[in-house]
Chain A
Amino acid sequence: MLSYGFMQNAFFVSLCISLLCPCIGIFLVLRRYSMIGDALSHASLAGITIGLLLGQSPVLGAFVFTSVCGALVEFLRGYYRKHTDLILSIILSLGVGTAITIISSGRLRVNAEAFMFGSVLTVSRADMVMVLALSIISLLAVALLYHQMLYIAFDEEAAKVAGVRVRLINYVFSILVASAISVSIRIVGVLVLSSMIAIPVATALQLGKGFRTTLIFSIFFSAVDIMSGLVFSYYLNVAPGGLTALFSVALLLTVILGKRLVSGLKRTERQ
């Protein structure tokens, strides 16, 4: 399997996804923004189609368009503080509306389906360079802004008192979300991309640990999900996106059941 160049590319990109998505996803989930992450991943389809229409890299197109949508989310937050679910509808309408308009115009020479479901065959060398650059820059930004982003998610007012420039970091965070989405679209696909952002974090949260340990476990679960999805998609000849999503849910349920089993055994021991 690894003798094929396209599988090597796919594994490399998967490694980037398994590192980057949980690092961004943990902040999205803990800020109760996982559905906004979902809306942004759907909006990235518009960026892909714009990139393809202009003859540019679809990953770059997705990154730019999703960054703009991320900034728009932050802007709209000021207007819909008590109705953040509405922002989801607005972003979905803008993104999916743009994508449908471009796809239905018949001007795209490439089939956009591979971006919806994910594909191991479509990862080009140019994509890999883009993915590597976005991953390195984004992971460095996360490392640099780790404590600021943690505090904005945990206690925004305390962060303000400590002098954190909350609004500026929220805009930077929007770009980081766009980056994680753009890195993932080739392999995971737009439709189930949120599974990579939210579910490994949801699985790690079940362990009831501190922030750093939860993040480490999120990365571990993310790697297990995506690598399993990739390997099985190769042998079953199906899209990796769907399988990755299924593996992530299966792992989540396994951890929940395992936790119940362990607590049940402990209770029995005590009696």
Chain B
Amino acid sequence: MSRKKRGVRFPERQRLMIRAENLYFSYSASQPFVLNGINFELKDGEYVSVVGENGCGKTTLMKLILGFIKPVRGKIITEARRIGYVPQKQGSVNSGFPITLHEMLDSYRRLLNIRDRGAVRDALGRVGLEEFSSALVDTLSGGQSQKALIARAMLGSPELIILDEPSSGIDPSSQKEIYGLLKKLNKENGVTIVSVEHNLEAAVLNSTAIYHLSMGKGHICTPKSYAEEYLKGRGES
């Protein structure tokens, strides 16, 4: 995120992906600010995990980045040319919807005006779900569903992928595969990743930087310093 804080260094040539300037947000005029003067910069090639207690504004910040909601004050600039989005498996996607994995990705390909029909097969191949192409999305396991959503987010070669709790409700081996996939996308393909995380271990192990939100305020730190300052402070190791 911001160029040089708490030992996090980014090369000068890196391109700006997101900039938040003095960001304030409240869900109604009578409620206190959920986000209270947020400032950060996110450059390309980063893998940032956004962490914090429940209700600290992680999902609100993600919605602001995606443009689902508008800030009360301040502004957020998203420079990424194409954004991929991976929602939480539970809650966002319409459960019981009669749609095959191929239909889910192919319709999305058409929304993005990607002419190459092979893009769907390639995306499914990258997450190892080719053989489930004709399966109903609702019948996939938690890990497979999450991989399918990542495959959808990869369509059109996005510069930035935003994930909302990617390991929520998923078994440990699938979690490992998913984080391996995200790291590969980040390191080998240079995709910038912003992941709202409840899984603090995954955040520390996989991220290049951690954005810690608390009481509507945020600050950037390295995974190492986050582990030392916060996890130890809470009696975790």
Residues of A at under 8 Å CB distance from B?
Answer: 30-31, 147-148, 150-151, 153-155, 157-164, 205, 208-212, 214
In the complex, A214→B102 CA distance in Å?
Answer: 15
Interface residues of B toward A: which range? Answer: 20 to 34
Residues of chain A lying within 8 A (CB to CB) of residue B97: 30, 153-154, 211
- A159–B68 contact, CB under 8 A? no
Residues of chain B lying within 8 A (CB to CB) of residue A208: 98, 136
In the complex, A160→B111 CA distance in Å?
Answer: 10
Residues of chain A lying within 8 A (CB to CB) of residue B83: 161
In the complex, A137→B68 CA distance in Å?
Answer: 32
10 contacts between A and B (CB under 8 A): A148-B111, A150-B103, A151-B107, A151-B111, A153-B94, A154-B94, A158-B85, A158-B92, A161-B84, A163-B112
Min distance, Cβ B122 to any Cβ of chain A, angstroms:
18
Min distance, Cβ A161 to any Cβ of chain B, angstroms:
4
- A154–B85 contact, CB under 8 A? no
The 6 closest A-B pairs by CB, nearest first: A210-B100, A162-B111, A161-B85, A147-B107, A214-B98, A147-B110
Is B108's beta carbon under 8 Å from chain A? yes
In the complex, A156→B97 CA distance in Å?
Answer: 13
Residues of chain B lying within 8 A (CB to CB) of residue A155: 87, 92-94
- A157–B68 contact, CB under 8 A? yes
Is B140's beta carbon under 8 Å from chain A? no
Is B104's beta carbon under 8 Å from chain A? yes
In the complex, A158→B68 CA distance in Å?
Answer: 10
- B93–A154 contact, CB under 8 A? yes
Is B169's beta carbon under 8 Å from chain A? no
Residues of B at under 8 Å CB distance from A?
Answer: 66-68, 83-85, 87, 92-94, 97-100, 102-104, 107-108, 110-112, 134, 136, 152
In the complex, A208→B96 CA distance in Å?
Answer: 10
- A159–B111 contact, CB under 8 A? yes
- B111–A163 contact, CB under 8 A? yes
- State which of B66, B100, B110, B134 has its C-beta within 8 Å of the C-beta of A160: B66
Min distance, Cβ B103 to any Cβ of chain A, angstroms:
5
- What would 17 more interface pairs be, CB under 8 Å, given A160-B67, A162-B108, A209-B136? A147-B107, A147-B110, A148-B111, A151-B108, A153-B97, A154-B97, A154-B99, A155-B87, A155-B93, A158-B85, A158-B87, A163-B112, A208-B136, A209-B98, A210-B99, A210-B100, A211-B103
Interface of A is mostly: helix
In the complex, A161→B86 CA distance in Å?
Answer: 10
In the complex, A31→B68 CA distance in Å?
Answer: 19
Residues of chain A lying within 8 A (CB to CB) of residue B111: 147-148, 151, 159, 162-164
- A210–B85 contact, CB under 8 A? no
Q: Which residue of B lies closest to A31 (CB)?
A: B94
- B107–A30 contact, CB under 8 A? no
- State which of A154, A162, A205 has its C-beta within 8 Å of the C-beta of B104: A154
Q: Which residue of A lies closest to B100 (CB)?
A: A210
Q: Which residue of A lies closest to B83 (CB)?
A: A161
Residues of chain A lying within 8 A (CB to CB) of residue B102: 210
- B94–A30 contact, CB under 8 A? yes
Residues of chain A lying within 8 A (CB to CB) of residue B152: 158
Residues of chain A lying within 8 A (CB to CB) of residue B67: 160
Q: Which residue of B lies closest to A162 (CB)?
A: B111
In the complex, A147→B92 CA distance in Å?
Answer: 18
Residues of chain A lying within 8 A (CB to CB) of residue B110: 147
In the complex, A148→B112 CA distance in Å?
Answer: 11
In the complex, A186→B103 CA distance in Å?
Answer: 36
Residues of chain A lying within 8 A (CB to CB) of residue B103: 150, 210-212
